[in-house]
């Protein structure tokens, strides 16, 4: 089996390695020469140009073959311009796959455009982060039944096993929608864990062994999870936590999940609050906080702290 992979960032490079180790021939390209050079894995052939990658993927064992071209790129402009570059070079039978964290509405629009040009289009939400190479990825595919059948052998190699961590989520766009909801849940779980341990840390009179409590929760507790595992490991290194700035970025999926909440009228207050809390860490709530302090001073004469 053979796949053409475009994008060798942190996720893409490890996916290329996992595919190769699973017996799949990977023809890869990234605009960064450094990224291409870093994928030193038997079975991964990093090509100098996009055209070279597509040409190499056009045959398998010297036999002309329809290609699966998988994009693992940042959402937005980069994905859009790559599709622009790909369309004139695709051939009959090719299937274009977006495995990045795209907005599902963009996915549906792009699919319509690619389908109108005569090619297949599918989307796959991929979860697993930097641990996916060793542990496998959770893969959520949005595709027609025919395209999913073509993709499935590749997804089975990415997943922890052929029967675990893999799902045909629905029609095109469903893979990215499922991943969006997944990340919205992730926002809420992370926020709950962070707030809970902050409450423990603040109760200084008990001198609570916070790392030991987290470790105990990993077994038998209803809150045990991979996120708790990662948190427990982090709490063993308090000096590292103390050195971290209290700034948490948001990568887009949380915003899209809140937009879906509004569009559908389905309440998702935990996701929305977790997202706004991230905004607060970014300094985006500072002006409102200053106004609140000034209001309290105005009606109650409360003291205002100066910066």
Q: What DSSP designation does 175 have?
A: H
Rounded distance between C-alpha atoms, residue 179 and residue 297, angstroms: 45
Nearest to 70 by CA among 52, 53, 55: 53
Tokens encoding 88: 């004139």
Q: Which residues are catalytic?
A: 179, 186
Tokens encoding 105: 């509405």
| SS3 call for 80 | helix
CA trace torsion 262, 264, 269, 271 (10° rounding): -90
What DSSP element (H or E) covers 57?
helix 50-57
- Distances in Å between the Cα of 52 and the Cα atoms of 28, 224, 244 are 9, 47, 43
β-pairing verdict for 120-127 and 138-142: antiparallel
């Amino acid at each position: 089996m053979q796949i053409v992979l475009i994008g060798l960032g942190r996720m893409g490079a490890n996916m290329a390695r996992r595919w190769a180790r699973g017996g799949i021939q990977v023809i890869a390209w990234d605009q960064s020469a450094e990224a291409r050079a870093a994928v030193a894995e038997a079975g991964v052939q990093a090509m100098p140009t996009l055209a070279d990658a597509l040409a190499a993927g056009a045959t398998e064992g010297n036999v002309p073959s329809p290609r699966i071209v998988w994009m693992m790129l940042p959402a937005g402009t980069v994905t859009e311009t790559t599709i622009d570059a790909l369309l004139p070079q695709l051939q009959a039978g090719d299937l274009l796959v977006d495995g990045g964290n795209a907005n599902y509405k963009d996915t549906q629009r792009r699919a319509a455009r690619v389908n109108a040009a005569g090619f297949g289009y599918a989307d796959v939400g991929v979860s697993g982060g930097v641990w996916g190479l060793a542990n496998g990825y959770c893969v959520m595919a949005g595709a027609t039944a025919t395209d999913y059948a073509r993709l499935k052998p590749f997804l089975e190699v990415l997943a922890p096993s052929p029967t675990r961590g893999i799902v045909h989520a629905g029609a095109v766009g469903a893979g990215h929608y499922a991943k969006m909801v997944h990340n919205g849940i992730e926002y809420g779980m992370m926020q709950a864990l962070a707030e809970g341990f902050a409450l423990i840390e603040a109760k200084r009179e008990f001198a609570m062994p916070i790392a030991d409590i987290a470790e105990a929760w990993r077994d038998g507790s209803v809150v045990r999870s991979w996120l708790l595992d990662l948190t427990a490991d982090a709490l063993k290194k308090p000096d590292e936590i103390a050195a971290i700035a209290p700034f948490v970025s948001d990568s887009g999926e949380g915003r899209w999940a809140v937009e879906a909440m509004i569009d559908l009228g389905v309440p998702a207050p935990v996701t929305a609050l977790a997202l706004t809390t991230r905004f607060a860490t970014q300094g985006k709530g500072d002006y409102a906080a200053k106004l609140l302090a000034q209001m309290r001073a105005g009606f109650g004469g409360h003291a205002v702290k100066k910066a």
